[in-house]
């Protein structure tokens, strides 16, 4: 059998390999109009952004390798000009030589793919205007960026390629504007989920012009004019408006096309000609959920179609392609966006009605157990039918999004129901998930809706008929301070049962909290007490996202961190200190309101001018902390984000800088009546290794730290025993060093009293007395000191003399010498030798 394959990037390349594996004797010839075969076109934007450093990494294989491996013939730079179906023959032209020839076939496979849609091809004649689809396109853009170092770029189109290019150009320091005729980015997902992505794009400095399509490109690509007349000056333009199937060859041959000009095929990949098959972007596929023909240009389905069609071409079986879910995932800066199955948009086009034909659950779970470091939130939108069938899902988040969408996609493939989601047994360990996985949570929320235990209302429903409902804010007081909602009645969930008398049974309430769970609990309480109540789907987080004004969002990426003064009033100058401590707290893994509550607790222990350095994984933290500062009279100095981690530096009240100038306008430290810019630092040299003196040292250190002092503790000679590990690791030493080390007490638990030690009985008695009187032990004092930021330094010279190494000391202890101690002493207003 002689098989010709036209196109060899995705589906065609997979098909030729499968054809050879199944039939060693078949004659297989592949025609590719470009100069490359089997390359990673999905990776092209990342090469331009230098995430992929080596150009050769883009090539899955090459002509010589495939020919040698599979025994096929590959003809590059070969345009198939026409198909003669009667004679089973194609006409081929080599554009380099002009040679035209014919080639016969027994079976023909079309894998001609798709091409970027360019409304006006003349735009591409301008030197600064590009499209991105092939290796030559990539090379042109890369060379331009490297050679001309553009400062500004306009991306036309907010789909996968457009957003990936926006990210990669932005990462190269280019100021990016993105425009799209549609009123959202990421066409496969619904508008409410796309808004999360849009907010993140704006936070990374991308200027969005949505619902405002391209009108013209002028001045050799240096000026882009939008539909409303807006003109954007630029150095580079990337057109990524969408794709169209390369079906011209099939159309000229008389093969049947669909309404979008894709080649019509059956479940076996037959075209309307039984000897011609087609796969990939060029064909129409069946919507796996809703039925009907759709165009889904994705590499995954194309490769599976290529594998299946090989058996059918050779007559070895009847492998079917039953449809496509359109499962997709994309990286947008540090965010991951994924979808599978039906969306609300596709359901609406199919005539389905929300609340009647389908329902939606919306949850904001963490990627893994919140108590394990690195947990980040995700938003899961699950769409399901009234009968319980799962129809589709969309997820936006950071870590673990891909595996959750794959889980739901697998369930969709096997026609799973909401009950199946609640009962899925998924792998669990704290670094990877929670005992109840986010997918389970999405199922629980959906199940509650189906059985009538939960009555959600979408933000759009409430917004369309605000007068019908009364908003009931069940968040805690501190959360409301961070982000108040106008017109809402505030009754914390914890007090709701005691304050029913404040509610009117003739009114309809929409309860909401931060992310939805407490709102749902409030709705359950109210309904069981006879009130008409609903809960807001997605809670305040969704409300805040959907009402965000993209044009007013300031970028807070890396070095471009926003610096904002949010103090409400000028504080008294005599309350300001020149040197203030900085306390770092880690709120990562805590979902809203956890980070704000932790900040509030920490701030209570600070004095005016002290700083709080906060890390969190909740995306809403950056905006919430600004509002919280505005409502509490504190100052937000800096915000930034990096890879799903959010960072803020706060200051209690106002502060002086190093020169003595205060944040408050017109004031300075010289104007202070009773407070100078003298630094509040304390230095302690701990020479002795006795238990009682060590306890005194750390009581003084923690007390000073609690009063806002920066405390330095310098341990030397016998004092090194205090900060030695109780079970130090085995370290190879010479005889003298080993002898000294063995004579030293191994950690604070082995220390003796300076007086009345009585062979160790005195030390034990002191510890028992301290325990009976609820006084912190030395070990607890050491941990507290570390937690409070007390700086502990071990003398390097003393360590050498005493035969100790850094590995034998407590974690967090620094190594230094006399210069370090003297430098700290110079900055301190108190020095102690113990």
What is the Cα–Cα distance from 79 to 56, expressed in whole angstroms? 25
Of 354, 347, 342, 312, nearest to 458 (Cα)?
A: 354
Rounded to an integer, what distance in angstroms lies between the CA atom of residue 743 and that of residue 444? 62
Three-state DSSP string of 113-154: CEEECCCCHHHHHCCCEEECCCHHHHHHHHHHHHHHCCCEEE
Q: In angstroms, what CA-CA distances link 718 with 685, 777, 797, 801, 824?
A: 11, 20, 12, 11, 21
Distance CA(69)–CA(774), nearest Å, equals 77
H/E stretch holding 541 reads helix 539-546
Contact call for residues 776 and 784 (beta carbons, < 8 A): yes
Q: Which of 520, 378, 386, 382 is nearest to 442 (CA)?
A: 382
Contact indicator for 632, 608 with CB cutoff of 8 Å = no
Please state the length of the chain. 834
DSSP 553-577: PPP-BGGG-B-----SSPPPGGG--
The set of residues, in sequence order, having a beta carbon less than 8 Å from that of 474 and lying 6+ positions away, is 491, 492, 493, 496, 511, 512, 513, 518, 519, 521, 522
Annotated catalytic residue 669:
no
Q: How far apart are CA 765 and CA 33, in angstroms?
A: 89
Neighbours of 364 (CB within 10 A): 24
Write down the residue that tokens 């990421």 correspond to.
186
Half-sphere exposure of 781 toward its Cβ, with a 13 Å CA cutoff? 26
CB atoms within 10 A of CB 710: 21
Q: Which two three-digit tokens encode residue 30?
A: 């592949």
Catalytic residue among 42, 321, 513, 677: 42
Spacing of C-alpha 487 from chain mean position = 32
Element (H, E) at 44: helix 44-48
List the structure tokens of 154.
């306009």
- Residues known to be catalytic: 42
């Amino acid at each position: 059998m002689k098989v010709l394959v036209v196109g060899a990037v995705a589906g065609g390349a997979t098909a030729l390999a499968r054809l050879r594996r199944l039939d060693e004797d078949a004659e297989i010839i592949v025609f590719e109009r470009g100069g490359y075969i089997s390359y990673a076109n999905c990776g092209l934007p990342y090469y331009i952004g230098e995430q992929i450093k080596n150009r050769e990494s883009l090539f899955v294989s090459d002509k010589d390798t495939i020919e040698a491996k599979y025994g096929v013939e590959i003809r590059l730079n070969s345009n198939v000009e026409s198909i003669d179906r009667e004679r089973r023959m194609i006409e081929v032209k080599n554009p380099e030589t002009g040679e035209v020839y014919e080639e016969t076939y027994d079976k023909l496979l079309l894998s001609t793919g798709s091409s970027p849609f360019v409304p006006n091809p003349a735009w591409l004649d301008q030197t600064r205007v590009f499209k991105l689809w092939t290796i030559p396109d990539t090379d042109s853009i890369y060379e331009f960026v490297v050679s001309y170092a553009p400062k500004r770029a306009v991306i036309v189109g907010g789909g996968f390629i457009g957003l990936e290019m926006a990210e990669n150009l932005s990462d190269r320091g280019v100021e990016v504007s993105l425009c799209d005729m549609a009123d959202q980015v990421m066409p496969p997902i619904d508008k409410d989920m796309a808004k999360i992505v849009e907010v993140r794009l704006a936070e990374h400095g991308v200027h969005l012009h949505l619902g405002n399509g391209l009108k013209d490109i002028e001045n050799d690509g240096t000026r882009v004019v939008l539909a409303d007349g807006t003109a954007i000056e630029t150095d580079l333009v990337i057109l990524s408006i969408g794709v169209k199937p390369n079906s011209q060859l099939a159309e000229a041959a008389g093969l049947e096309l669909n309404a979008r000009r894709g080649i019509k095929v059956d479940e076996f990949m037959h075209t309307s000609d039984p000897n011609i098959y087609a796969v990939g972007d060029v064909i129409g596929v069946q919507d796996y959920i809703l039925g009907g023909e759709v165009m889904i240009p994705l590499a995954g389905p194309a490769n599976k179609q290529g594998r299946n069609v090989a058996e059918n071409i050779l007559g070895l079986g009847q492998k079917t392609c039953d449809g496509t879910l359109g499962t997709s995932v994309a990286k947008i800066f540090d965010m991951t966006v994924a979808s599978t199955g039906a969306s609300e948009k596709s359901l609406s086009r199919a005539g389905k009605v929300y609340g009647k034909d389908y329902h939606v659950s919306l949850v904001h779970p963490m990627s893994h157990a919140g108590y394990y470091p690195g947990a980040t939130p995700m938003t899961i939108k699950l769409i399901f039918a009234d009968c319980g069938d799962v129809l589709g899902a969309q997820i936006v988040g950071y870590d673990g999004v891909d595996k959750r969408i794959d889980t739901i996609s697998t369930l969709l493939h096997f026609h799973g129901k909401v009950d199946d989601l609640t009962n899925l047994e998924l792998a669990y360990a704290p670094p990877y998930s929670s005992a109840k996985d986010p997918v389970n949570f999405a199922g629980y929320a959906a199940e509650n809706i189906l059985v009538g235990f939960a009555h959600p209302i979408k933000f759009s429903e409430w917004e369309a008929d605000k007068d019908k409902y009364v908003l009931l804010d069940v968040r805690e007081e501190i959360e409301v301070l961070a982000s108040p909602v106008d017109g809402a009645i505030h009754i914390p969930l914890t007090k709701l049962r005691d304050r029913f008398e404040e509610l009117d049974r003739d009114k309809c309430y929409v309860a909401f909290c931060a992310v939805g769970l407490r709102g749902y609990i409030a709705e359950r309480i109210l309904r069981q007490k006879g009130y008409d109540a609903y809960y807001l789907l997605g809670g305040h987080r969704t409300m805040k996202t959907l009402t965000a004004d993209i044009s007013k969002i300031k970028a807070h990426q890396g070095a471009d961190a926003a610096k904002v003064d949010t103090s409400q009033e000028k504080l008294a100058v005599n309350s300001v200190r020149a040197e203030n401590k900085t306390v770092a707290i880690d709120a990562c893994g805590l979902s809203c309101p956890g980070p704000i509550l932790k900040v509030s607790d920490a701030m209570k222990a600070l004095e005016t001018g002290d700083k709080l350095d906060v890390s969190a994984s909740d995306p809403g933290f950056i905006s919430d902390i600004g509002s919280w500062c505005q409502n509490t009279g504190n100052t937000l100095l800096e915000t930034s984000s990096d890879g799903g981690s959010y960072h803020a530096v706060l200051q209690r009240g106002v502060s002086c800088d190093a020169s003595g100038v205060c944040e408050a306008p017109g004031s300075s430290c010289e104007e202070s009546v009773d407070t100078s810019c003298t630094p509040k630092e304390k230095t302690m040299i701990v020479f002795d290794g006795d238990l009682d003196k060590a306890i005194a040292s750390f009581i003084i250190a923690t007390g000073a730290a609690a009063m806002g002092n920066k405390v330095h503790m310098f341990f030397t000679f016998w004092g090194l025993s205090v900060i030695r590990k109780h079970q130090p690791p085995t370290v190879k030493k010479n005889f003298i060093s080993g002898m000294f080390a063995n004579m030293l007490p191994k950690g604070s638990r082995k220390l003796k009293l300076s007086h009345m030690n009585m062979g160790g009985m005195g030390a034990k008695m002191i510890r028992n007395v301290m325990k009976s009187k609820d006084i912190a032990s030395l070990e607890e004092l050491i941990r507290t000191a570390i937690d409070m930021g007390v700086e502990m330094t071990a003398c390097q010279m003393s360590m050498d003399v005493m035969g100790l190494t850094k590995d034998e000391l407590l974690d967090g202890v620094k190594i230094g010498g006399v210069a370090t101690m003297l430098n700290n002493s110079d900055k301190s207003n108190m020095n102690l030798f113990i």
